[in-house]
Structure 1
Amino acid sequence: MTTDSNTAGSTPVSDAAGLTDEQWRAKLTPEEYRVLRQAGTEAPFVGEYTDTKTTGVYRCRACDAELFRSDQKFESHCGWPSFFSPLAGEAIIEKVDRSMGMKRTEVLCANCHSHLGHVFEGEGYDTPTDLRYCINSISMRLEEA
């Protein structure tokens, strides 16, 4: 599902999990809160899962929903973990993001509406889809198989 918004970046995303902003701040570290709830971005090439090849399922760090599988992960050399497909179409929400002076597609957890990253298409990667889900490591945790 794709929705349209002009408010990515510093505005907290809406909450489908029913938690207040205060509850999210108590549950998450300050950096997790900045990325997951305020649509921030972690620095490139520093994330925990950028180069991970471990087999398992990537879950939303905010609500534990399943998002991606390790067999959908690929090396894009962009500085963030990249996937060619989410676990299931219902696992994420895609939202038009017009922040930063450009039009991008933001990726949110469908369960709690936390910011995960962005998806890009048409970049020519040799994957089954022509998509690159560029996801912040801090937005996920890996459950090893």
Structure 2
Amino acid sequence: MSDDAENRKETTPKVRKTTAEWMQQLTAEQFYVTRQSGTERPFTGPYWDNNLIGRYDCVCCNAPLFMSDTKFDAGCGWPSFFEAVHPNAIRELQDQSHGMIRTEIRCQQCDAHLGHVFPDGPAPTGLRYCINGHAMNFVHGGQQPAEAGNDDEKSA
């Protein structure tokens, strides 16, 4: 059964929508950030100062991204995390915009721009995922998603 769960996860289809469909689903700020690789101004977006327990999901496709126990105050004005919910939740791309070389973070499921990752975070990873609040929804009390292959163990 664990092989079946793993195969389902690997073959989950990507979320693909037209620009018009994204515009209808998202607010103007969410569309700007996630579909046009925008950045909200620091200390203005949702969740930068959220201290509740839960999970942060992609605003576009509801894929789980980060857990609140990996969130920390980096003082930068954006929600910051030191680890994604699982390695396959996000993908990294080189970003050479604005005269800098950075690592962009996108949702693996729908390709939404989330923010950037930097190597100046806390232990245990040393990473700082600096995420636009408008790219996420907060699920109060949301649980860590089950990993592929562990479905039987979680339900036992």
Q: Which of the pair is proportionally richer in helix? A: 2
Counterpart check, 1:58 vs 2:56: yes
1:85 equivalenced with 2:90 (yes/no) = no
Instruction: Provide the secondary structure at the position in 2 that maps to 1:63.
Output: coil
After superposition, the C-alpha distances for 1:45-91 in whole angstroms (9 at most, x for unaligned) are 11220111100010000110000000000111011000000000100
- Structure 1 residue aligned with 2:4: none
Gaps (5+ residues) in structure 1?
1-15
Which structure shows the higher strand fraction?
1
**Residue 75 (1) aligns with residue 66 (2):** no
Distance between the aligned counterparts of 1:126 and 1:107, measured in 2? 18
TM (normalized to structure 2)? 0.80
Q: Secondary structure at the match of 2:84?
A: coil
- Residues 122 and 128 of structure 2 are in contact (CA less than 8 Å); yes or no, is this contact kept in structure 1? no
Say what the alpha-carbon RMSD is for the aligned residues: 0.9
Matching residue of 1:142:
138
Partner of 1:41 in structure 2?
39
- Name the counterpart of 1:116: 114
Larger CA Rg, structure 1 vs 2:
2
| Percent pairwise identity | 48
5+ residue gaps, structure 2: 1-13, 142-156
